[in-house]
Amino acid sequence: MSFLKRFFGNKDEKTDQQAPTSFVNENQKVADSPELFADWINKYVILSQSFEDDLSLAPDEEQCNRLSISRKERTLCANENVLLRALGACLFVRNNLDEHYYLLFRELLMPLVIERMERHAPYRHCDNPSEALDQYLEELKSDSNVGFSMTYIDRVYPDTPNSESIFRQGIPVHLGLKHVMNSFEIVQDGFSRLKFGIPYEALEKLNNVLNESEEKRED
């Protein structure tokens, strides 16, 4: 469980770490509300990049020719980046906040994600982004990247005869998983700035100082 938990305190008891209600600012309200935080994440993280931005991250013409990646698959790759940013956000919330917050956050986050993906999907392409998100989250529980990579390839490169080469070159990790973790880190830092008014790196240093103080007291 993330050390962020320690800064929330027990919601059922008043602690010195909890600010009086009158001092809770608008940013903290966003962090505390699954609805507001989902809206914030969609606006500033997931949907802030255009389809053209995402397309620029897909394999270029040379790579497509070399690996027999079709125009449809290049579009799928660009479109998947939207889901991967949502995945990074959900991964952070699931790992750091309580289950009720996570479930509501995810429910409120996904409709706009799905709408964006449907708008740019290839003609007559059938997809279930919510189901894919669950599959990705399940695969990320493993220490191996194999399951994530296979899911990514099945979704993004369903037609190319060179899927094995794509897997061996680590493209799902270099393109897909990297995009997830970039999103995770952005959401992590954004939440820290909203909730505590400081970057995540500063919060992490504060946590280390508190741990050192506790260890000295125990000695």
90-148 pLDDT, tens digit per residue, is 999 999 999 999 999 999 999 999 999 999 999 999 999 999 999 999 999 999 999 99
* Ranges of the chain with pLDDT below 50: 1, 8-23
The one-letter code for the residue type at 168 is: R
Confidence at residue 3, expressed as pLDDT on a 0 to 100 scale: 58
Structure tokens at 62: 């040379």
Euclidean distance between the first and final Cα of the chain, in Å? 25
Task: Domain ranges for the chain, please list them.
Answer: 25-218
Confidence at residue 211, expressed as pLDDT on a 0 to 100 scale: 77
Collapsed DSSP state (helix, strand, coil) of residue 12: coil
Cα 55 to Cα 120: distance, rounded to the nearest angstrom: 11
Cα 184 to Cα 37: distance, rounded to the nearest angstrom: 14
Confidence at residue 20, expressed as pLDDT on a 0 to 100 scale: 45
Q: Where are the alpha helices (DSSP H) in 25-159?
A: 26-32, 34-41, 51-55, 61-67, 71-96, 99-120, 129-139, 146-156
Confidence at residue 169, expressed as pLDDT on a 0 to 100 scale: 92
Cα 9 to Cα 20: distance, rounded to the nearest angstrom: 13
Cβ-Cβ contacts under 8 Å for 155 (sequence gap 6 or more)? 76, 80, 127, 132
Question: Tens digits of per-residue pLDDT, 85-106?
Answer: 999 999 999 999 999 999 999 9
Cα 89 to Cα 171: distance, rounded to the nearest angstrom: 21
